[in-house]
Amino acid sequence: MAIIVVDVMLKPEILDPQGQAVASALPRLGFTFAQSVRQGKRFEITVTGEPTAEQLAQVEEAAEKLLSNPVIETYLVRVEA
């Protein structure tokens, strides 16, 4: 069993009000380390056995067509060790 992870993030030029809200909440807890925060989504797709090249290609396609909206988001597919 392996997990294919797809990370989806808003493109840098797209306003991320959720990330901004998190960034402004951090100092209220005394955390002053953050210059900015961007919030994204993470998908964990479980497959049986080691992922094949074909499966990874299909996940790429799914990420492009469904998991992300390429107009506003970017994605990264990787296999979790």
What is the torsional sign of CA 13, 72, 81, 60?
A: negative
Alpha carbon separation from 69 to 28, 40, 78 (Å, rounded): 33, 12, 18
Residues found near another protein in the complex (CB under 8 A) = 10, 14-18, 21, 66-67, 69, 71-72
Per the CB < 8 A criterion, the answer to whether 6 and 45 are in contact is yes
User: Which one, 66 or 81, has the nearer CB to another protein?
Assistant: 66
Per the CB < 8 A criterion, the answer to whether 63 and 75 are in contact is yes
User: Which one, 18 or 52, has the nearer CB to another protein?
Assistant: 18
Closest approach of Cβ 39 to another protein, in Å?
10
Closest approach of Cβ 45 to another protein, in Å?
14
User: Which one, 52 or 76, has the nearer CB to another protein?
Assistant: 76
Closest approach of Cβ 75 to another protein, in Å?
13
